[in-house]
Amino acid sequence: MKYALTFLLLLLLSSCKFFDVKKTSSEAILKEELKTFNWNEVDVYPSFSRCDSLEKKHEKMYCFQYFLKKQIFDFLEDEVIVVTRDVSDTIQLKFQVSETGVLTLINTEIDSLTVKEIPNIHELLDKSLDALPPIFPAIKRGQQVKTEFQLPIIINVE
């Protein structure tokens, strides 16, 4: 009976999860923390110095987009564009703002008719971005991060 009790006691102690120790490495904690991030949103949207006085995130976003569109429109209005047919198109521009505040035009979705009527449209769009004021990059959890966004531009040439 003594051996049976000793065996039973050893069986209970070895099967108890109380003695299991989980080792957690810093890499495991980091992986768990990274899963909780919403990678599609930033804490502070990229901005121009004109937009710094705004406090709300969506207001800064609209301000940034407004001044970017205004810069493109103003540049295109100053250019002499001659077309044989009226052009009315919505161009989708995909931009990237780097961690250092460099704005890059990544992709453009332009209708083939618009490209046919305005063959240098890509060059005009690139030139319109050259005179932009400095851009402050987006911030995520206190760090400057790279962001991408799309901006529709409506072009009407008669």
pLDDT values of the chain reduced to their tens digit, one per residue, 158 residues: 777 777 766 666 665 555 555 666 777 777 777 667 666 677 888 998 888 888 888 888 899 999 999 999 889 888 887 777 788 888 999 999 999 999 999 999 988 888 888 888 899 888 988 888 999 999 888 889 999 989 998 888 77
| Spatial distance between the Cα atoms of 127 and 114, rounded to a whole number of angstroms | 18
| Secondary structure letter of residue 123 according to DSSP | H
Give domain limits for the chain. 49-157
- Three-state DSSP at 142 gives coil
pLDDT of amino acid 96: 94
pTM, 2 dp: 0.71
| Spatial distance between the Cα atoms of 71 and 92, rounded to a whole number of angstroms | 16
pLDDT of amino acid 135: 92
Is residue 141 within 8 A of residue 43, CB to CB? The reply is: yes
Is residue 47 within 8 A of residue 32, CB to CB? The reply is: no
pLDDT of amino acid 150: 92
Distances (CA, A) of 15 to 3, 6, 11, 12, 92: 18, 14, 6, 5, 63
111 phi and psi angles, rounded to 5 deg: -60, 145
pLDDT of amino acid 44: 84
